[in-house]
Amino acid sequence: MDGVFGRSFTNYDFDMFSTSHFVIITILILGSSIIYLNRDKLNARQRRRTEIGIAITLIIMELTYHFWMIINGSWNVSHAIPLELCSISLILTVLLLLTRKRIIYEILLFTALLGASQALFTPALNYDFPHFRFFHFFYTHLMEIWVPLYFTWAKGYRPTIWSVLKLCIFLNVLMPIIMLINKLVGGNYMFLSHKPDSASLLDVLGPYPWYILSLEGLLIGLSLIVWLIFREKTSKGTEMARELPFQ
């Protein structure tokens, strides 16, 4: 199959920092600004309809992506299961929109702002505009960023220092499971089996398996920075939340 829904990217070869990429970055900035500036303008009913509507579009988009891989013969258990960090963030985004659970927000805020944002600025993507994969990739990643920002600015959710602990527990429960799945299916989800073949940040974090520990340490450090930026503060600048870690 050829065209915008085909497997070939000969006519849709994506280049990082091309015009289409800069347009997406501009949309990210404008969308984030619009969310912040209009944070108090939607009533409760409008907000709920918007949340459910976005969740449905994300589900449809992801199911269509898997259908696209199947009909083009590229779906394989070794790489198509949604076990990459951004795929997990997408699942968390849908769950947060549908349930509004604070613990989901606390994990998503970090995985989205640290994972999805990196994917937007340095996308591992072959297909350019107007291919389906281009729209799928950037729509899902934009929503992974915008949704936790919306819950922060419009709904008043805030991370606490305990949120970083919850993230660590979540990842350390998840990683052994993904390592086992990698071994069973011959995959390399979250690069837990080996480093990527191309040059990457992991090259400076040590050999396998030590780069996994280095990467987790880096993630914790960056998560603390995100917490410092988005935590709720009193007029004296101290953290306001005093909740127990798993309320």
pLDDT digits 0-9 by tens, 3-56: 888 887 777 889 999 999 999 999 999 999 999 999 888 788 889 999 999 999
Least confident stretch, 26-30, 69-73, 90-94, 238-242: 238-242
| pTM, two decimal places | 0.90
Least confident stretch, 103-112, 133-142, 188-197, 218-227: 188-197
Q: Sketch the domain layout of the chain as residue ranges.
A: 19-230
Give the mean pLDDT of 57-83. Answer: 96
Do 27 and 142 form a contact (C-beta atoms < 8 A)?
A: yes
Assess whether pLDDT exceeds 90 at residue 131: yes
Per-residue model confidence (pLDDT) at position 1: 58
